[in-house]
Chain A
C-alpha cells in the first residue's frame, strides 16, 4: 500500500516535469517569435451583416500592421453600428470607439450627380448649416473656408476654383481615406429599352419594350428586396432605397435631373427668376399639370408641400436642409410661387431636386386637412399614397408580395408606353436573379448589385436575352477616421494610413472590380471633380516616413545584432526536462514492477 502511494507520488512528479518542460518550450518559442510592440492601437468598427466591411477590415489589419498599427476589429449588428456612428456622436465631440463612438469605419456616401456642393457640408467642421451634421469630426479651417467660399458665390468659375482647392486640401489632410467610386451592375431583360439605372424608375414614362406596340398591354415587373417604407416622399430617409421607386413613378418635383447629362431641368415649372440680391426666387408653374384624381395642380399645392416640410412638427427628413435656406413660401396667384430665403443660396435648384425626392409636390386637397404632426402616421403615409403627378398611378399594395401601378393617361409629358408596372418584393438576391432568368421579372433593383456581382460573367456568356451593364454609381467609398481620436488627430498619421491602404486589393478582390480608385469625395462625373487632387497609392515606405514625421519611432524596431541566438539556452532546459522526465518515468515504472 505504502509503496503504491510512493510510486504514485513519484510518477506524478515525473509527469509534472514533462509537462512543465513542454509548456516552457512552447513559451520560449512564442517569446522568440513575438512581434515588437505596435506603435498604437485603433479599433475598426464594422457591421457583421456587411461582408465587405469585415473583409476590408481584415485586409487593413494585415497591411496597417506592417507599419506598426495594431488594428482591432470589432463587429456589431446594424443597430449597434448605427448608434455608434449617428446615435451618440452629436456635434461637436466625437467619442472614440472605447467611449461608444468609432475610430475607423468603412462607409459609402451617395451624391447627387450635379450640383452637390451643398451636401459636402457634412465634411466640414460646421457641418451642414445650421444643424452641424459633421460626421467625421474634420477640424480643418482651411478646407472649410474653401467650401464656404464656394457655397456663397454664383460665379461658376470661382465656384470651381474653390471646390478644386477644397479637394486638394482634403486629400492633403486626409480627414477620411477616399477609396473608390463604386460601379453598380444592373440586370434587365434585353427587350427593355431606355432604362437608366441611376434614375430608379423616375424615367418610367420613357421606357419602351422591344417587340411590343402602343396597342399591346405592356406589363413590366421590377424586383425589389423590401416593401416600401414610407409613402409620402417628405418622410423618405434618402439614398437609393427600396421605397424610392414608388416615389419616383408617383410623384414629381418642381425641378429634376435630365437623364443623360444630369443637368437640372424644369419639371413642374416653366421658368424661374432670381432676385438681384439673391434673397428670393419666383417660380412660374405649368398650368397643364393634373393630379391622378383629375384636380389641377396650383401654387396652393406647392405652398402646402413646402410649408409642411418647413414645419418642425411634421418631422420631415428634409426640414433641416430646407429651413436653413428657405424662410417662407408665398403664392400670389394660382401659377406663381415666391420663395424667400434666409441667405443667398447658389444651390437652391439642387435643393429643390433632392435625390431622395423629399419635396415632391403633394395634393393639398387631399392632405390639407390633416394636422402636420399627424402626417407621418396618417393612412396616406402608411396604407395608400395620395394622388401624385407622376407618370404612374397607384393601384394596389399587397404587403410582402407586390405594389401595382397603372399608366397615368393624363401625364403632362405624355402617356407612358408601359401600361402596368409591378414592383415584386423578393428578399433574396439569388431568388431575384432566378426569377429574372425564368422570365418572372423584367428588371432587378440596383440593391441586389453587389450580391450578384459574381454572376455577371456567366450571364454575359450564356444569356443574350438578359442585359448586364456596369454603370458608375454616384457614391464614394471611404474609410471614415475619427479625427478627434488622440492618435488620429495628427495629419501625418492619417497620411501614413492612407499610404498603407492597399487600394488595388480592395477594389479588385473585395469589391469584385466593381469600383474605380478615387481621389475625391466628389464623383468624377460631376463638374466639381478635381482630376488633379492627390491620388494616394499603396506605398509602405512613404507610410513609414509619414509616421516618423508624426514623431513615432522607427518600426519595426532595428534588431540589436549582438544578441545571442535565444534558441540554445532555451532549448537545453526543455530537452533536459523531457529526457529527465522520461528517465524518471522509466525508472519509476521499473521500480514499481520489481516491487510487485
Chain B
C-alpha cells in the first residue's frame, strides 16, 4: 500500500479528534447522536451490553440497516466486522462504510489471524490492550487504534488499564538505545520498524482513541487526560436514563476535558448513567477484551 493511501486513511481519524463516536442501532438513534454533536456513528444491530446479555454469535450488521443509518445522517458511518472475517469486511467496503471496526465485540471468526487490512481502501480501526497488540494491528494496516476496555460494562477500569499500559510502554521504548530495539521488538512480538518508530517519536504512528466502558462525561475526560484523542461510547448513551442529555454532555466533555468547572456544569442533572458491571461479575470466558491478540 502506498504511503499516500495511508495518509488518506489516517486523515479521516484526524478529523474525528476531540469528538465522540457513538454506537447506534437505528436511524432514529443515529439522528439523536448527530444532533447531540457526534462526529461519527457506529452502526450495529445490538449495543455491546445487549450482546453480552443475549449471548449467541454476534455478526456484522444487516446491510439494509446500515444503509438506512447512512441515509439518516451526514457524518461518517462506521460498522463492525468479526475479527479475521475479511468477507464481512469486503461487504462493509462495498457498502462504502467510512471506517471498519475489526471488533472484539463481535464473535471472532479466526482465532489465529486478523484481517490483512492493507488490502482494503476503507480504513480500519482495531482495539488493543497494550502497545505490542496495537503495533501488530498497525502492521496489518489499521489506521486507527482504540483501547479495547471491556465493552458493554459501563465500567472504565479496563480502558484505563489499557491506555496507561500503552502510554507506559511507549515511554519505556523511548529510553532504549538503538541497539536494544531489535530485542525489544522480539520480546514484544511486534514489527521492528514500528517499534523503532515509536521509540523515536514517543507516540503511535496512527491516532489513538479510547473505547470500552465510557459511561459519563467524567469518564470521557479521564480517558482524554490519559492520552485518548477521541472517545467511542457504546452502551453508555442508549443505556442511560436520558440518552439525549447524556450524548450531548459527553460531546462537550470531550472538548472541555481539561476544564473541571466546565465539566461540573456539564455533568449536572443528567439522570442515571447505565447501571454497569463490575469486572468480578464477568466470567473469564465472557471477557471480550481477550478476543484477538
Chains A and B form a bound pair: no
